[in-house]
Chains A and B, each alone.
Chain A
Amino acid sequence: MSDGSSAGKLIEVEDITRVFHVGGEEVRALRGVSFGISRGEWVAIIGQSGSGKSTLMNVLGCLDTPSSGRYTLNGKDVSRMSDDELAVIRNEEIGFIFQTFQLLPRETALANVELPLVYRGLPARERRERAKAALEKVQLAHRMHHRPNELSGGQRQRVAIARALVAQPSMLLADEPTGNLDSATGEEIVRLFEELHRAGNTLVLVTHEPKLAARCPRAIRLSDGQVVADGPGREVALGIGAAVMAAGGT
């Protein structure tokens, strides 16, 4: 029955753990995390530093693989994939948006946006067309020949969002996307996310800011490597309502 209901989910995370070995000591960053995200959802993953949310983001982004458990993305079990296969998944299924933008400093905005399509092996002309279209979506077509250091922080993040969008991935995965921006610019970016959500994109946003999480339709709170709340963003972010599970219940 649960198989039937999860078949339609874009992301299905089942009892995932991630154990690191640091200097002979075991650090259990994720201790049995399970949830599902449907296509078109906008979900915040929230938690204090050390809660395991960064580890979870790396696993969701296929930059890391779980120690145990199962992670199904768009119908594909990615938890046991090889390095090369994961590279293809990252290219085709995931659009990354980082706190520090992570643009290549020596390339123009256009070249930065083209990059995922380069690794997909598209011909140059098609890459260019699609990258321009993506930059238009974030209202930066007029700055496409500028290098990152000639752009403001908000503009840089919009270039990064265009880069995440250009390959038409199954989900956008944003890690503290407003963390390096002033509040006005941050607001601009959140509005852009709202727009993308309305357009049907699946968004996963990792943040430690309750205010930001509260604006998401759904939020998952992580604490000590476990999910402690899962429900409407406002309730999870503010710690109210039925979404708050009994912490330490395991």
Chain B
Amino acid sequence: MKLPRGVRVDVLEGVRIALFSLKANRLRTVLTTLGIGIGVATLLAIVGIIQGLNTSFHRQLATFGANTLYVSKFPWAMKGDWWVYRNRKNFTMDQVTRLRSLAPFLSAISPTVQRVADVAYGGEQLSTVRIQGVTHEYLTISGYEVTAGRFLTEADDEVTRPVAVIGADVADGLFPGISPLGQSIRIDNRTFQVVGTLSRKGKIVNESLDLVVFVPFKSFYSSFGKGRGLEIAMAVADPTQVRRAEDQLVGILRRIRGTPPGLPDDFSINKPEAMAQTYEQLTGALYGVAVGVGLITLLVGGIGIMNIMLVSVRERTREIGVRRALGARKRTIVFQFLMEAASVSAVGGLLGTTAGLGTAKVVSLITPLAADVQATTVVGGVAFAAVVGLLFGIWPAARAANLDPVEALRYE
């Protein structure tokens, strides 16, 4: 019966007095609040922008399809000595054919080979366009959609037709206002006839996925030479079995490539998901630094709180004496000042959250970075600020409670 009464007095009175004194010292409260608020805002804006980056990156990766795998001699996330990968044998078309017959769990498979070149039509020219040689099955693996005309066919490849399917950026860049279908584009003085255009896919790490020209695989080899190593793109029939497919692929690929037992794989199975991991490692470092900066700002804000609480304790020394004389226990006084510190910080946290969200929003509006702040971040921001206030309020509160009531009553 004693405990609930004590808690009621400590907490309710503590909160009431805290709010009362915050109201009485509005300007001071606002200034103190700013310190914490700026810290929280910094943290949130950074967290929001980085979360947004990650989300948009994942969204872009998702357009590749969760069931796609890419096999080549280079891993996407290169670790260690580049020469080790460089010296692996190139994949050949023959290996692609054998893989198709040995891996019935694949629903689509296409060799791909690529280079970067200038593409021209009439007087218009686009530079650094990705030219990619693929077969008809590549369409389902890549996730592009045909917006006009058609994609490459089996026949295109068989008879080495000089045809091309172009990405949205190429279509916009070379054919503003006119239909590209049936037009001839030049790549390195080779002429290709446009037979189809593709839907827009956006950017991934600032590289446009739409600045691309697809030509039949064999046409690529005959036009640009066979020197380049090829990558094999494939889609697993059952998206839930990607892991198993990967394991099976290792065995099949070793057999096809004649890798002797005991030697490591001389190929890499790449997944969009693995790329995401690399990307997150990259942003993770940035994240760490940014969060560190935010924490330092919060620390400064916290010291501001501590400072102002010490002033508040000094100012109200007599009040503390009176309260103690009238029956306030030490912990009631502790609570009073802790609540005051926590309230200032929580208000700061709220302001900071709003400002941080606003900043992130503005950034997402005026830059291509998509900011994305989750509800947990908001709640976390306010709660975190309150905890900072509590921590930095402990010492001033303890000082207040340990004042000798006799001395406190006499304080001028």
Residues of chain A whose beta carbon lies under 8 Å from any beta carbon of chain B:
58, 61, 63-64, 83-84, 87-88, 90-92, 96, 98, 102-104, 106, 115-116, 118-121, 163, 167
Contact B9 A84 (CB under 8 A): no
Contact B5 A121 (CB under 8 A): yes
**In the complex, how many angstroms separate the beta carbon of A240 from the nearest chain B beta carbon?**
34
Tell me which residues across on chain A come within 8 A of B5, comparing CB atoms: 121
Contact A91 B327 (CB under 8 A): yes
Report which residue of A84, A98, A118, A120 has the largest number of chain B beta carbons within 10 angstroms of its beta carbon: A118
Interface residues of B in 328-378 (CB under 8 A from A): 328-332
Interface residues of B in 287-329 (CB under 8 A from A): 318-319, 321-329
**Which listed residue, A63, A83, A92, A121, touches B9 by the CB 8 Å rule?**
A121
Q: Look across to chain A and name the residue whose beta carbon is closest to the beta carbon of B20.
A: A106
**In the complex, how many angstroms separate the beta carbon of B148 from the nearest chain A beta carbon?**
75
Contact A63 B325 (CB under 8 A): yes
Write 23 A-B pairs (CB below 8 A) sorted by A numbering.
A58-B406, A63-B406, A63-B409, A64-B406, A87-B324, A87-B330, A88-B327, A90-B325, A92-B327, A96-B326, A102-B322, A102-B325, A102-B409, A103-B322, A104-B319, A106-B21, A115-B326, A116-B326, A119-B9, A119-B13, A121-B5, A121-B6, A121-B8
11 additional contacts (CB under 8 A) given A84-B330, A102-B409, A119-B327: A58-B406, A63-B324, A63-B325, A92-B327, A106-B20, A119-B13, A119-B323, A119-B328, A119-B329, A121-B8, A121-B9
Tell me which residues across on chain B come within 8 A of A63, comparing CB atoms: 324-325, 405-406, 409
**Which listed residue, A84, A88, A118, touches B13 by the CB 8 Å rule?**
A118
Q: Look across to chain B and name the residue whose beta carbon is closest to the beta carbon of A164.
A: B326
Report how far A161 CA is from B4 CA in the complex, Å: 30
Report how far A106 CA is from B19 CA in the complex, Å: 13
Contact A83 B330 (CB under 8 A): yes
Tell me which residues across on chain A come within 8 A of B24, comparing CB atoms: 106
Q: Look across to chain B and name the residue whose beta carbon is closest to the beta carbon of A83.
A: B330
Tell me which residues across on chain B come within 8 A of A88, comparing CB atoms: 327, 329
Q: Look across to chain B and name the residue whose beta carbon is closest to the beta carbon of A106.
A: B24
**Which listed residue, B9, B322, B409, touches A118 by the CB 8 Å rule?**
B9
Contact B322 A87 (CB under 8 A): no
Q: Look across to chain A and name the residue whose beta carbon is closest to the beta carbon of B328.
A: A119
Report which residue of A98, A103, A115 has the largest number of chain B beta carbons within 10 angstroms of its beta carbon: A115
Helix, strand, loop or mixed for chain A's interface?
Answer: helix
Q: Look across to chain B and name the residue whose beta carbon is closest to the beta carbon of A166.
A: B326
**Which listed residue, A58, A84, A92, A102, touches B329 by the CB 8 Å rule?**
A84
Contact A119 B406 (CB under 8 A): no
Tell me which residues across on chain B come within 8 A of A83, comparing CB atoms: 329-330
Report how far A58 CA is from B325 CA in the complex, Å: 10
**In the complex, how many angstroms separate the beta carbon of A87 from the nearest chain B beta carbon?**
4
**In the complex, how many angstroms separate the beta carbon of B371 from the nearest chain A beta carbon?**
43
Report how far A81 CA is from B21 CA in the complex, Å: 32
Contact B327 A90 (CB under 8 A): yes
Closest 9 A-B residue pairs measured CB to CB? Answer: A91-B327, A121-B5, A119-B327, A87-B329, A116-B326, A102-B322, A63-B405, A84-B329, A63-B406
Tell me which residues across on chain A come within 8 A of B325, comparing CB atoms: 61, 63, 90, 96, 102
User: Given A63-B405, A106-B20, A121-B6 in contact, is the A115-B329 Cβ separation under 8 Å?
Assistant: no
Report how far A84 CA is from B20 CA in the complex, Å: 25
Contact B327 A87 (CB under 8 A): yes
Tell me which residues across on chain B come within 8 A of A103, comparing CB atoms: 322
Tell me which residues across on chain B come within 8 A of A106, comparing CB atoms: 20-21, 24
**In the complex, how many angstroms separate the beta carbon of B397 from the nearest chain A beta carbon?**
16
**In the complex, how many angstroms separate the beta carbon of A228 from the nearest chain B beta carbon?**
24
**In the complex, how many angstroms separate the beta carbon of A130 from the nearest chain B beta carbon?**
14
Contact B8 A119 (CB under 8 A): no
Tell me which residues across on chain B come within 8 A of A61, comparing CB atoms: 325
Q: Mark B14-50, 1 if CB is under 8 A from A, else 0.
A: 0000001100100000000000000000000000000
Contact A102 B318 (CB under 8 A): yes
Report how far A39 CA is from B318 CA in the complex, Å: 31
Tell me which residues across on chain A come within 8 A of B409, comparing CB atoms: 63, 98, 102
Report how far A91 CA is from B127 CA in the complex, Å: 86
Tell me which residues across on chain A come within 8 A of B330, comparing CB atoms: 83-84, 87
Tell me which residues across on chain B come within 8 A of A115, comparing CB atoms: 322-323, 326
**In the complex, how many angstroms separate the beta carbon of A164 from the nearest chain B beta carbon?**
9
Q: Look across to chain B and name the residue whose beta carbon is closest to the beta carbon of A84.
A: B329
Report how far A178 CA is from B95 CA in the complex, Å: 108
User: Given A106-B24, A121-B6 in contact, is the A116-B406 Cβ separation under 8 Å?
Assistant: no
Tell me which residues across on chain B come within 8 A of A102, comparing CB atoms: 318, 321-322, 325, 409
Report how far A116 CA is from B332 CA in the complex, Å: 13
Report how far A12 CA is from B316 CA in the complex, Å: 34
Contact B326 A119 (CB under 8 A): yes
Report how far A83 CA is from B318 CA in the complex, Å: 18
